[in-house]
Chain A
Amino acid sequence: MSRRYPPLAHHFLSLGQQYSAAKLGMWLFLAQEVLFFSGLFMAYAAFRYFYPETFLAAHEHLNVTLGATNTIVLLTSSLTMALAVRAAQLGQNKQLLINLALTFLFATTFLVIKYFEYSHKIHLGLLPGKFYSAHEHIPGQPALFFGLYFVMTGLHGLHVLVGMGVIAWIFIRGLNREFGPEYNTPVEIVGLYWHLVDVIWIFLFPLLYLVK
């Protein structure tokens, strides 16, 4: 088994130090992600407080079935990601690659479903701000609700896209058999990231689709 990168970088004293540093770094990065989205959640809270009737009426125009399907898809992808991490730790390279491929596939499914949802909204004119042109009557300020909908799910979608990128990256490294019981940090931190993307959706789904 030949590796292109020496697993221990020059400035660390031990593999253990290197591993725990990478993991702490990732947790901190996730903390800033949470704060990043928390700004949006605060905006959501403020506008829901200002216009409760809008949120109640506007959420009827979101497709709960598709939203719920996407929730299940993402939850399953979290499971396959967890299995991939486990496989890497046990040195089961084939299992690792299969599970990463599955996770990637679920992520794609998620985005495809999201695409259909988006195009339906665009078709109906249920759009943010000045682009809002729907004929249905929604009381209050529906343009704000759909503004929130598109910004929140859009930024989440962007995170899914980034996630697919890094999953593809560790998949390729997996093809080169770079991971094993003694070195699997990249798989683990990508896993952490992917779980966060999942958790954010777990909050977005009820807040946007299940207002009642």
Chain B
Amino acid sequence: MNYLTAKKGFKSWLFTLDHKRIGLMYLVAVLSFFFLGGVFALLVRAELWTPAGDMFTADMYNKFFTLHGAIMVFLFIIPSVPASLGNFLIPLMIGAKDVAFPRLNLLSWYIYVLGALFFFYTLLFGSLDTGWTFYTPYSSQTGTSVISATLGAFILGFSSILTGVNFIVTIHKMRAPGLTWGRLPLLIWALYATAVIQVLATPVLAITLLLLVVERAFGIGFFDSTIGGDPVLFQHFFWFYSHPAVYIMILPGFGIISELITVHARKRIFGYNAIAASSVAIAVIGFLVWGHHMFVSGQSSFASMVFSFLTFAVAVPTAIKVFSWVATLYRGSIAFTAPMLYALAFIFLFSIGGLTGIFLGAIAVDVHLHDTYFVVAHFHYVMMGGTVIAFIGGIHHWWPKLFGRMYNEGWARLGCFLIFIGFNLTFFSQFVMGSRGMPRRYHSYVPEYAIWHQLSTIGSLVLGLGLVLTLVYLLHSLFWGKRAPHNPWGGESLEWQAATPPIEFNFTKQPVVTSGPYDFPEIEQDRS
């Protein structure tokens, strides 16, 4: 009897308090929105095949890129890893029966669904053309359905806050005997740091969006310069959340990579303390760098200086993580399984994403690159090359635990290869056209950028193909895949001690922890 079969019927899912089932429901939901956001991305890329705006009207195009961004950010990537894999894994990895507040957990899911309904309403009635950033005064003037979209994002924010509260309490209070902070798997550290940001940054987004709603509904004027308000103030408010939100998106990815590399290389992580501490450092400093989105907005030079400095300060802990992952491979026993391939792809892609951030942090260079495709490429390398690659890698790593089935390794490797090639083709060309001056959010463009746009569009098709292939063989494995052994990769953290798939309350008897999460049997005895 596992958690999938313990209770039967539709209702047993809708009213479940089991963190594993809630995690699965999130997984289905976020992947559906990933698909929808991806469709909009392909429509955008299709329009940009030629310089002229000839496939869709400008208004349609503006809606497409807005919906792509808003869906990907609010409905997919922010909840992606924490709400799905995090929900499933946190109690299992810390040896608990469930999260601290199971009913709150289910409530978060329903709040998420409610927020999603607001987005569906927006999609069907009036749509949205503000860009996902909702900049005023455009967003307070446009005729599209801004109120329903902002309310949707507002509601999704509360789902995120409640999930964060739940995780922090769970990690603090529900750990198994012997599971000290120094023995926590690094994914847990990363999700902990993420949850802190979710709890502390999201309310500021909530108030910002609320102010935007009253601005539109009642003309309250906080962001309207005709009655003394300040449209740039909105940007400060918005980025105070939305920059830390970037770390909500990437930190869980870091956590997953630490797990994948150690397990598939049979090695202890190199510099456990440094990696755990850098997650927390990134979470803290990440609150103080929002102004680097505003170097050309007219904010004071002094403010720009401070924000630029802090931006570089955040780069150091990030660099430490990358170096530590590479060093972990040293003298390991590296298996080229699909999860490991994704981890290696992550190191490659995230390095590009991180290093190109240095260009954007240097104020003078940012003046040229701001709001060009260079920025678009940079954050796709971080968000998709980083988080999404880690997410897909994580899904492959824990797939056997989730469903008790193995997928086909050959297809998985091919999928990973296609995604890697397609991704680089799509976004590397965007670096080139961006630094050559191609502005973002353009429906039509001057012909000198055509070749880069065409490479990018071809890449997006390859990328799309790779993702669809991945979806197909994963779904196939649910029905026809081999039964998964109890611990296919030989993981040492607690989730691998649970049955496959786990039973309803995770463990038959309370686990007790006596060693670190990466103490694999293959490791030679310390001679010292």
Interface residues of A (CB under 8 A from B): 9-13, 17, 20-21, 24-25, 28-29, 31-33, 35-40, 42-43, 46-47, 50-51, 128-131, 140-141, 143-144, 147, 151, 155
The closest CB in chain B to the CB of A148 belongs to B222
Cα separation A128 to B173 with both chains bound (whole Å): 46
Given A21-B173, A147-B222, A28 and B230 contact (CB-CB distance below 8 Å): no
Contact of A39 (CB < 8 Å), options: B102, B199, B204, B215 = B204
- Nearest-neighbour CB distance to chain B for A58, whole angstroms, equals 12
Which residues of A have CB within 8 Å of B207? Answer: 36-37, 39-40
- Count of chain B residues with a beta carbon within 8 Å of a chain A beta carbon: 46
Cα separation A161 to B60 with both chains bound (whole Å): 43
Judging by beta carbons under 8 Å apart, are A36 and B206 in contact? yes
Cα separation A30 to B201 with both chains bound (whole Å): 13
Judging by beta carbons under 8 Å apart, are A33 and B203 in contact? yes
Contact of A35 (CB < 8 Å), options: B201, B227, B233, B510 = B201
- Nearest-neighbour CB distance to chain A for B214, whole angstroms, equals 6
Stretch at the interface among B92-100, B248-256, B361-369: B92-100
The closest CB in chain A to the CB of B170 belongs to A21
Judging by beta carbons under 8 Å apart, are B228 and A141 in contact? yes
Given A32-B165, A38-B204, A39-B203, A25 and B222 contact (CB-CB distance below 8 Å): no
Cα separation A125 to B210 with both chains bound (whole Å): 23
Judging by beta carbons under 8 Å apart, are B233 and A46 in contact? yes
10 A-B residue pairs with Cβ-Cβ distance under 8 Å, sorted by A, are A17-B173, A21-B170, A24-B168, A25-B166, A32-B200, A39-B240, A50-B228, A50-B230, A144-B227, A144-B229
Judging by beta carbons under 8 Å apart, are A129 and B172 in contact? no
Cα separation A10 to B158 with both chains bound (whole Å): 26
- Nearest-neighbour CB distance to chain A for B294, whole angstroms, equals 14
Given A25-B101, A33-B203, A151-B214, A51 and B228 contact (CB-CB distance below 8 Å): yes
Judging by beta carbons under 8 Å apart, are A28 and B199 in contact? yes
Given A25-B169, A31-B200, A151 and B220 contact (CB-CB distance below 8 Å): yes
Cα separation A33 to B207 with both chains bound (whole Å): 10
Which residues of B have CB within 8 Å of A39? Answer: 203-204, 207-208, 211, 237, 240
Cα separation A30 to B216 with both chains bound (whole Å): 29
Judging by beta carbons under 8 Å apart, are B505 and A130 in contact? no
Which residues of A have CB within 8 Å of B164? Answer: 28
Cα separation A25 to B161 with both chains bound (whole Å): 11
The closest CB in chain A to the CB of B510 belongs to A13
| Known pairs A25-B104, A131-B219 / 11 extra A-B pairs, C-beta < 8 Å | A17-B173, A32-B200, A32-B202, A32-B203, A35-B201, A39-B204, A40-B207, A46-B230, A128-B221, A130-B227, A140-B228
Cα separation A47 to B225 with both chains bound (whole Å): 12
Cα separation A140 to B229 with both chains bound (whole Å): 11
Given A21-B173, A141-B228, A129 and B206 contact (CB-CB distance below 8 Å): no
Judging by beta carbons under 8 Å apart, are B169 and A11 in contact? no
Most buried by B among A46, A131, A147, A151: A147
Which residues of B have CB within 8 Å of A151? Answer: 211, 214, 220
Judging by beta carbons under 8 Å apart, are A28 and B168 in contact? yes
Judging by beta carbons under 8 Å apart, are A21 and B221 in contact? no
Which residues of A have CB within 8 Å of B100? Answer: 11, 21, 25
- Nearest-neighbour CB distance to chain A for B421, whole angstroms, equals 42
Within 8 A of A (CB), among B123-179: 161, 164-166, 168-170, 172-174
Judging by beta carbons under 8 Å apart, are A11 and B200 in contact? no
Given A36-B203, A39-B204, A46-B233, A24 and B219 contact (CB-CB distance below 8 Å): no
The closest CB in chain A to the CB of B206 belongs to A36
Cα separation A38 to B166 with both chains bound (whole Å): 22
Judging by beta carbons under 8 Å apart, are A11 and B98 in contact? yes
- Nearest-neighbour CB distance to chain A for B218, whole angstroms, equals 6
The closest CB in chain A to the CB of B228 belongs to A141
Cα separation A144 to B221 with both chains bound (whole Å): 7
The 6 closest A-B pairs by CB, nearest first: A141-B228, A39-B207, A130-B219, A36-B203, A11-B98, A11-B97
